[in-house]
């Protein structure tokens, strides 16, 4: 799940988080059950239509959020092209793109608070084993919230590197600043959580 809740209102914003997560699970299983590359057009087309239900602006925002997937899709295409197994590559690429796009649609149309509350209810049976569901749900919420932030921070560092060293592409040089930035964010988040009474149970 790559994006945050979209400010562009869509019909999906009114759907409860539990219903969207259940639909996501069913559609993901159905997508992975497809074994013919040609039939993979069905979930891809259906997912595109779902995005278009929110309007062109929403669809463009969803497409931008899927940018981190393109290197993986390109790698799949190159590998299966070299191994002369393009059919299987198209199948794997279609599964990856459609399932991640559907998950992204859920996060774009669901408030983080609703997602955390839903995850707490789903994980509630684990309390019998001594696990604190609220803490797990809180950690999942932090991952959903901070992953796009870290991706954007990486893009900013890459742009800064290109501005200072135009002849060299950014590589390992931005890893340390990105890690230090993530640790600094973790410190600020920990202080904010502590100031609000700690992690909820």
Domain ranges of the chain: 11-110, 120-195
For 137, the token pair is 């749900």
pTM (two decimals): 0.71
Going by the DSSP 8-state scheme, the letter that residue 167 receives in this structure is T
How far are the Cα atoms of 13, 26, 31, 51, 192 from residue 137, in angstroms, in the given order? 21, 21, 26, 27, 17
CB atoms within 10 A of CB 67: 11
Q: pLDDT tens track of the chain, all 201 residues?
A: 445 677 888 889 888 888 998 999 999 999 999 888 888 899 999 999 999 998 899 999 888 888 878 888 888 888 878 888 888 888 888 899 999 999 889 888 988 778 778 877 877 777 787 777 777 777 777 777 777 777 778 778 787 777 776 666 666 677 788 788 888 877 887 887 788 776 665
CB atoms within 10 A of CB 175: 12
Tokens 């932090």: give the residue: 142
């Amino acid at each position: 799940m790559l994006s945050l809740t979209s400010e562009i209102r869509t019909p999906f914003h009114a759907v409860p988080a539990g219903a969207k997560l259940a639909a996501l699970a069913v559609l993901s299983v159905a997508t992975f059950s497809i074994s013919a590359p040609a039939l993979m057009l069905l979930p891809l087309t259906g997912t595109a239509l779902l995005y278009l239900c929110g309007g062109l602006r929403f669809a463009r925002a969803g497409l931008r959020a899927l940018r981190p997937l393109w290197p993986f899709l390109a790698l799949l295409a190159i590998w299966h092209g070299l191994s002369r197994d393009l059919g299987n590559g198209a199948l794997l690429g279609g599964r990856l793109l459609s399932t991640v796009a559907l998950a992204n649609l859920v996060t774009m149309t669901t408030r983080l608070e609703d997602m955390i509350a839903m995850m707490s209810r789903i994980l509630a049976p684990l309390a019998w084993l001594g696990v604190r569901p609220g803490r797990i749900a809180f950690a999942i919420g932090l991952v959903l919230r901070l992953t796009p932030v870290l991706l954007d921070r990486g893009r900013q560092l890459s742009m800064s590197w290109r501005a200072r060293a135009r002849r060299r592409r950014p590589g390992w040089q931005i890893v340390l600043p990105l890690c230090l930035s993530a640790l600094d964010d973790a410190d600020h988040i920990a202080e904010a959580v502590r100031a609000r009474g700690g992690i909820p149970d």
